[in-house]
Structure 1
Amino acid sequence: MIQSEFAEAMDRFSERYPHNQEMVDLFQGQWSSKVPPEAGVINEPGTAPLYVDPRLRWAEQVLGGFRHMRVLELGPLEGMHSYMLERGGAQEILAIEAHPRAFLRCLCVKEMLGLQRVRFGFGDFRPYLEENPERYSLIVASGVLYHQRDPWRLLELMALRSDRVFLWTHYYDHARIQEQAHLRQRFQPPFRRHFADVLVEGAVQSYGEALQIPGFCGGTAAQSVWLTRRSIVALLWSYGFRKIRSGCHETDHPNGPAMAIVAGK
């Protein structure tokens, strides 16, 4: 229903006064985030206060600020962290988003909030990391690692393009997952394998019916791999990150255990 309404909205001329609310209403029912007050929006599009995200605030504190950094952001969703990075003084931000509607919402946010040092790119950040040799002061990857089919490779690519990374991710904890039926049914039996001389542990999960949700913001495939917390840290260490700090731990997160990591070489 929402998809058909969106398609109709894309083909319909607006007859209302040009206002940020008009942009927001193009994606009615699909927003995740509340927008900051300066957007002047009358009806809030989303509910999550992600433009004041404490996870990125924590990373900013650990890193000593974002000033003068050239940042690559993976999967910006609605530009919440892009906004925070610019407000934090980053010199420039390239944010790459693969979902077309999320990308268009990012462009709306750029206009609504007057972002000047953020460039949003539409496409898959994986081939960009594979093929573009450019390096960055910092790579921000919030909410993307657990959506990968081979998360070990994403960590390796990030290590090739920057000496500093910020991650926020869910991770596989067998005991915690088994405690919650809605999570347990999504996972295959856990595996153990060696990758880059590291014993990697985790499990394959399936999105199932979540793929049909209009605002779905998961991965590009029907399944992904969640790594254990230990495996993520071990892989980062093997790729040369010797300064690793974790925080924002949420072992009881309703969508699965989660943590943030700032890693530097």
Structure 2
Amino acid sequence: MRGMHRLRRLLGLVPLEAPPREGLDSKYERRSPHAQNALDLISGWTGSFPGALGLEAGNLALHADQRLHWALDQYGLVEGASVLELGPLEGGHSALLEARGAESVLAIEANKKAYLKCLIAKEIMELKRCRFLLGDFEKYLHETDTEFDIVLASGVLYHMQNPVHVLDRIGRRCQTMILWTHYFDPEIMHENETRRGAFLGEIKTLEHDGQSYRLYQRGYHEAWHADSYCGGPDDTHYWMERPDIIDLCERNGFNDIRVAFEDLDGPNGPSCLFYMTKQEGG
């Protein structure tokens, strides 16, 4: 019997030793099935979930964001609208768009960790009309001919290396743009202003369609080491000035531009929400 057992070991039919319990436990969830288990898979959540779900995640209630509610109120009847969402982060705004009646939401996220969070949120929030894609939305905007009723770009423009080109491409793909962004104001953010510290000093002048736009270089200063990092893929990025944002959008046919939620005292810099549409005969 002992010889047979030795033979089985040599043939690989009997493990030489049991795998460590700790290693096995790391591959399986032993708690009772619950949505919180999925949230605990990934650290550093920014957004929260509806209180009725009783879940612990981040603190920012993007699923009930009053800025987006305001913009959609300006739009009117959202039912039937097609939406392209750039940088959904964790799917909070995606859930709000579906709740408001959007027919379809195509959300493109480049951050791999954020993309997985979107998939978890999609399951928890039982989203049916949202599709999440992993990839570079700037390349998508350059390659696609698809037009959307609405493009939502919240918290992404100021992470770009070329925000002028991104903004221009967005304007060619939709009739309505909802844009929340930081911007650079040289009068507010003077040389000795604390928020100026993240900027690297370089000011570029970019020529685009016969117009000049000033871009202010900024760095993350290795902030990507934090679990909650949700910036862009490149350390250096550029901010536009507020009048230049408006000018470029007007050149792309947006003739109804409304501004709300302006904050000049934000810890990183001024910001506001733009709601822009192309009105016929405007």
TM-score using structure 1 length: 0.91
Whether 1:249 aligns to 2:262 is: yes
Match of 2:210 in 1: 197
Residue 169 of structure 1 contacts residue 258 of structure 1 at CA under 8 Å; is this kept in 2? Answer: yes
Match of 1:31 in 2: 45
Cα 1:10–1:53 change in 2 (3 A) is farther
Q: Return the match for 2:28 from 5, 9, 13.
A: 13
Match of 1:70 in 2: 82
| Partners of 1:217 and 1:88 in 2: CA distance | 25
Higher relative contact order (Cα pairs below 8 Å, separated by 6+ residues): 1
Instruction: Letter of the 2:248 partner, please give it.
Output: L
Alignment of 1:154-233 (within 5 A): 154-178=166-190, 180-233=193-246
Q: Which moved more, 1:207-216 or 1:137-146?
A: 207-216
Alignment of 1:69-218 (within 5 A): 69-178=81-190, 180-218=193-231
Residue 198 of structure 1 contacts residue 234 of structure 1 at CA under 8 Å; is this kept in 2? Answer: no
Over the matched positions of the two proteins, sequence identity in percent amounts to 35
Match of 1:22 in 2: 37
Q: Which has the larger radius of gyration?
A: 2
Instruction: Letter of the 1:230 partner, please give it.
Output: P
Q: CA deviation at 1:189?
A: 4.2
| Partners of 1:223 and 1:10 in 2: CA distance | 41
Q: CA deviation at 1:101?
A: 0.7
| Partners of 2:196 and 2:42 in 1: CA distance | 28
Q: In the TM superposition, what whole-angstrom CA distance separates every residue of 1:83-140 from its partner, at most 9, and x where no partner exists?
A: 1100000001010111111001101111111111101111111111111211111100
Instruction: Letter of the 1:94 partner, please give it.
Output: L
Q: CA deviation at 1:9?
A: 11
Q: In the TM superposition, what whole-angstrom CA distance separates every residue of 1:234-259 from its partner, at most 9, and x where no partner exists?
A: 01011111111111101111121001
Any gaps of 5 or more consecutive residues in structure 2? Answer: 1-22
SS of corresponding position for 2:188: helix
Instruction: Letter of the 2:45 partner, please give it.
Output: W
The count of corresponding residues between Structure 1 and Structure 2 is 255
